[in-house]
Amino acid sequence: MQIAEGASAREAIEASGVLGRHPQIDPRHLKLAKFGRRIAPDTALQEGDRIEILRPLAMSPMEARRLRARRKARRPER
């Protein structure tokens, strides 16, 4: 996608149209990352930057490990 040089991450997200396609994303509380590292929405972008919209985890990683361990323990041996 092409945006003006020095545009902010927030401006890039707004220009992308993703907020219109996904109304569940609250633009006032955007949590963003650039190549996997958290950034502020007003961070200036450079050519080739990849912006990611971060969302809350569905469950904590510890709880997910517990559930996997329980499921594995219940599986019959082959």
Q: What is the pLDDT of residue 78?
A: 64
Which pLDDT score is estimated for 70? Answer: 92
Instruction: Give the CA distances from residue 67 to residues 27, 58, 62, 70, 76, in Å, rounded to whole numbers and listed in that order.
Output: 33, 13, 9, 5, 16
Query: Which amino acid makes up residue 22?
Result: H
Nearest CA-CA partner of 9 in 56, 37, 55: 37
Give the tens place of pLDDT for each residue, 49-72: 999 999 888 899 999 999 999 998
**Could you give the CA distance from residue 4 to residue 16 in angstroms, rounded to a whole number?**
13
pTM over 0.75: no
Neighbours of 8 (CB within 10 A): 19
Domain boundaries, the chain: 9-74
